[in-house]
Amino acid sequence: MPAPAGLRPLTLSQYQDTVTDLLGEVSLPVVQAETSSVAASLSGFSPLLVEQFETAALAAAEIAFTPERRSRLVGCTPGTSADDACTRQFLASFGRRAFRRALEPAELDAYATLSAGAAVALHDAYAGLQAAVAAFLESPHFLYRVELGEPEPTSGFRYTSREMAGRLAYLLWNGAPDDELLGAGERGELVTDAGLGAALERALGDARSHRGVSRWLSDWLELEGLSTLQKDSVALPLMSASLGASFREEIALDADDLVFTRGADAHELFTSQRTFVNAELARLYGLPAPAASGFAVASLAADGSRAGLLGWGGILALHAKPKKTFPTSRGKFIRMALLCQTIPPPPPNVNTSLDFSAAGEVLTARQRLERHRQNPACAGCHALTDPLGLALEHFDALGGYRADEDGLPIDTRGDLDGVAFQDAQSLGARLAERPDAMGCLVRQLFRFGAGHVETAGETPAMAALEAGFAASGYRIKDALRQVVLSAAFRKASP
């Protein structure tokens, strides 16, 4: 049973990327929309958010209609009447891209009337179009993806061909469908295997797919938190105002390299010693600074323990405290984000204090957590999380390498559900060997595209996705193909 069709509020990045697709680069004021695809699907708009959307729409339209930009955007010279040909042509074409479908005649009339009214009131034909553009950007048909589905010719229920244009564009590009994709949708091609396949190949070859993959990673790994990274810069002197952005850029470059430049096996996400660093990341990772400014490809030490995504400073820093490491949080991240498992929260009224040291006794995080696990109420979950997080203890709360923990030796050995590992690098290798890690990766892609966590009814579809991903040799571009062509992505419940 597929998940129900309905409204999908745009995520923050979908909103930003769609505005960019429609108007070119504009700097937008603050809009506090949801950042995760799953959370956005569930969300509603508060009065403040509606106000922020209005402010942003007016600001974006104003920038887009500055004298040096507007003629290229509009493409003809508008007049001030509602039946002006240029006005109607622009509104029909812009509205189609904004609403991800052609405007109804009555809609076109309404937007033309608004435009003419504003043009007369403000004595400026462009000001009329500017008002209409702001209205498009405030309309529910723009702010929600309206994906209501239709009955299939024989039996079942599916997303319409027009809706598939939007679904494909937001999964692959995180942004608006272009004219060609909208055309394919209008011609009914996107409910056929051949038509959808062809549109998919073109979309994958488009430069916007790089943006899509980067946004998916940001959603999956919750990298938004790096924008507000808070660390104690006294305890961690390499902390800087730009570090969070550097972390994000490293991850985006790594992903781009893996998925597009090299088309490599996704297992490398857990094992690769190839990454991209700028000067401050090189310093943090103990590597020579790149010759030129900006980012350059770099090799991590073959005998060091840093490898793959568990070696990304951004991941290590996100799952740590302002000063100290947080092995439980790192382990929980591995279980939940990388293996798609569920870890329940701590039971109520439990003492979560880890201060078990007698006076003068100095303990490592491992020793404190071991004592914590002596409480049977805690042991169940902590046995799942802590050994994995403790494998990363050579990386401090910023992701930098440390040889010891305040003078005490660090022991990173442990086991992943009975399979032993020595350190972070071998934990990455053990994870890569797990079929459920690869399965989780393709599920995370599905969640991003579908906007919900897979339901029990979608279990067979997920199994098919995982099998297809394996058969393709674990190429992420193939995983994208699998998701788009899967029944779970194309079918819905009414």
Report the residue number, 50 or 467, with the smaller CB distance to another protein: 50
Burial 241-273 (b: 16+ CB within 10 A, else e): eebbebbbbbbbbbbbbbbbeeebbbbbbbbbb
CA distance 410 to 390: 9
For 455, which DSSP code? P
Task: Name the minimum Å distance from CB 211 to another protein.
Answer: 20
Footprint of another protein on 412-471 (CB under 8 A): 453
Both tokens of residue 295? Answer: 């980012």
Which CB, 134 or 264, lies closer to another protein? 134
| Closer residue to another protein (CB): 146 or 479 | 146
Nearer to another protein, 96 or 267 (CB): 96
- According to CB under 8 A, which residues from 299 to 338 bind another protein? 321-323, 336
Of 51-70, binders to another protein (CB under 8 A) are: 51, 54, 58
One-letter amino acid at 275 equals T
The one segment of 29-37, 257-265, 274-282, 458-466 that binds another protein by CB under 8 A = 29-37
Question: Which window, 150-158, 181-189, 286-294, 343-351, contacts another protein (CB under 8 A)?
Answer: 343-351
Q: What share of the chain is helix, strand, coil (3-state, %, to 5)?
A: 55, 10, 35
Given candidates 67, 348, 409, 418, which one binds another protein under the rule CB under 8 A? 348
Residue 160 or 209 with smaller CB distance to another protein: 160
Query: What residues contact 238, with CB distance under 8 A and at least 6 apart?
Result: 280, 283, 284, 398, 400
- What the block records as the tokens of 250 is 């490293």
Q: Does 374 bind another protein (CB under 8 A)?
A: no
Residue 282 found at the interface with another protein (CB under 8 A): no
Q: Which of 220, 233, 414, 384 is nearest to 312 (CA)?
A: 220
Q: Is the dihedral of CA 302, 308, 310, 311 positive or negative?
A: positive
Window 219 to 238, contacts with another protein (CB under 8 A): 222, 224-225, 228, 232, 234
Q: Which two tokens stand for residue 343?
A: 């870890």
- Minimum CB distance to another protein, residue 199 (Å): 25
- Verify binding: residue 245, another protein, rule CB under 8 A: no
Closer Cβ to another protein, 135 or 479, answer by number: 135
Burial class for 355, CB neighbours closer than 10 Å (0-12, 13-18, 19+) = exposed
Residue 155, number of CB atoms within 10 A of its CB: 6
Taking the C-alpha atoms of residue 494 and residue 485, their distance in angstroms, rounded to an integer, is 20
Tokens for 181, please give them: 């994709």
| 89/139 with CB nearer another protein | 139
Verify binding: residue 390, another protein, rule CB under 8 A: no
Q: Residue 146 or 181: which CB sits closer to another protein?
A: 146
Minimum CB distance to another protein, residue 492 (Å): 12
Task: Give 7 or 76: the residue with its C-beta nearer to another protein.
Answer: 7
Nearest distance from C-beta of residue 11 to another protein, angstroms: 12
Please, which residue, 110 or 287, has the CB nearer to another protein? 110
Q: Which is nearer to another protein, 238 or 289 (CB)?
A: 238
Q: Which stretch binds another protein (CB under 8 A): 36-44, 85-93, 150-158, 292-300?
A: 36-44
Taking the chain, what is the end-to-end CA distance rounded to the nearest angstrom? Answer: 11
Indicate the residue among 141 and 373 with the shorter CB distance to another protein. Answer: 141
Number of residues forming the site for another protein (CB under 8 A): 64
**Residues 20, 26, 28, 45: which binds another protein (CB under 8 A)?**
45
- Cβ(458)–Cβ(424) below 8 Å: no
| Residue among 25, 24, 31 nearest 10 (CA) | 31
Question: How far, in Å, CA of 109 to CA of 115, rounded?
Answer: 10
Binding mask 146-175 for another protein (x = CB under 8 A): x-x---------------------------
Whole-number minimum distance, CB 227 to another protein, in Å?
A: 8
Task: Name the residue type at position 280.
Answer: E
DSSP string, 288-357: PPPSSSS-EEEE--TTSS--SGGG-HHHHHHTB-SSSB-HHHHHHHIIIIIT----PPPPTT-------P
Work out how close the CB of 43 gets to another protein at its nearest, in angstroms, rounded to a whole number. 5
118 counts as binding another protein under rule CB under 8 A: yes
Please provide the DSSP assignment of 273-285 as one string.
-EEEE-HHHHHHH
Options 107, 109, 178, 436; binder of another protein; rule CB under 8 A: 107
Pairwise CA distance, residues 352 & 242, whole Å: 34
Q: Which amino acid is at 409?
A: P
Q: How far is the CB of 429 from another protein (least distance, A)?
A: 27
| Angle formed by the axes of helices 67-74 and 125-138, nearest 10° | 70
Q: Binding residue for another protein (CB under 8 A) from 44, 360, 407, 418? A: 44
State the residues that interact with another protein by CB under 8 A: 4, 6-7, 30, 32, 35-36, 38-39, 42-51, 54, 58, 107, 110-111, 114, 117-118, 121-122, 127, 131, 134-135, 138-141, 143-144, 146, 148, 222, 224-225, 228, 232, 234, 321-323, 336, 342, 344-345, 347-355, 453
